Each structure stands twice: as structure tokens, then as C-alpha cells.
Amino acid sequence: MILNREQIMKVLPHRDPFLFLDEVTEMTPGISAKAFWRVTGDEAFFAGHFPGMPVLPGVIIIEALAQTGAVSLLSMPGNENKTGFMTGVEKARIRRKVLPGDVLRLEAALTKIKMGFGFAECAAYVGETLAATATVSFAVG
């Protein structure tokens, strides 16, 4: 399943300036999702992170990974029009700088779904280089 930005907004409640997915290129509801975010450098947080040396904040990378997992979780039958709330982040590692002009490839594999909670193993890449990893958990409400 492929989703453009408009279709992503039908699944996720996020909107600009906090929607970080440009397109979902692969998705199996309840199993996994792959998405892309083209980091333009025009994002507001670059003005302060860091002036004269813009670097994408690691917490924003983790949020983009969580949005990728949430697309798969919220696309499951019965989860339509619900919201995924991030409840935890474990084993987060930022492995390289992400700079304006980079394209992040975001991957999330759901490892467990139980009683309104989901868990995903996530990774972000720039090209073929691993940029970040994390285990993210969600509550569906």
C-alpha cells in the first residue's frame, strides 16, 4: 500500500508543522511501514538548532519513526479514526547527523500488538547509511 501526504493525513492526526512523512512507499497494516521524509531545511526548528550549522534534532527523527509505525498500527481494521499516542522510547541511538537536503528513509516493524498497545522496531537511513534506531511503543485511543 502506498500513501501520499494527503492520504497519510487521513490516517494520522498530525498536521504541519509536525507531520514528518512525505510519503509511505510500503505498508502492511499491523505489520510494517516504510516512509520517506525530505528534509528541506525550511523547517522552523532549524532556526535554533543550530544557527549557522543546521542539524535535524534527534528527537524529531524519533518522532518521524514513531509516525511511520503509527501509520501501520492505525491502518489496521478497527483502528480507523483513532489516535496513536507514543508511550515509550527504548534503545534510541542517533548514529549520524541529518542535514538539510537529506532524505530520510524511515522503517518500522511492529513486533507486538496487545490490548490497545503496539511496539515497533524502527530505523532511519540517509541513503544506505543508518542514521537512527529506536524501539517505540504506542497506545491506541
Residues involved in catalysis: 49
Measure the CA–CA gap between 7 and 63, rounded to whole angstroms: 19
Instruction: Report in angstroms the alpha-carbon separations of 14 from 21, 33, 39, 129.
Output: 10, 17, 17, 27
DSSP 141: -
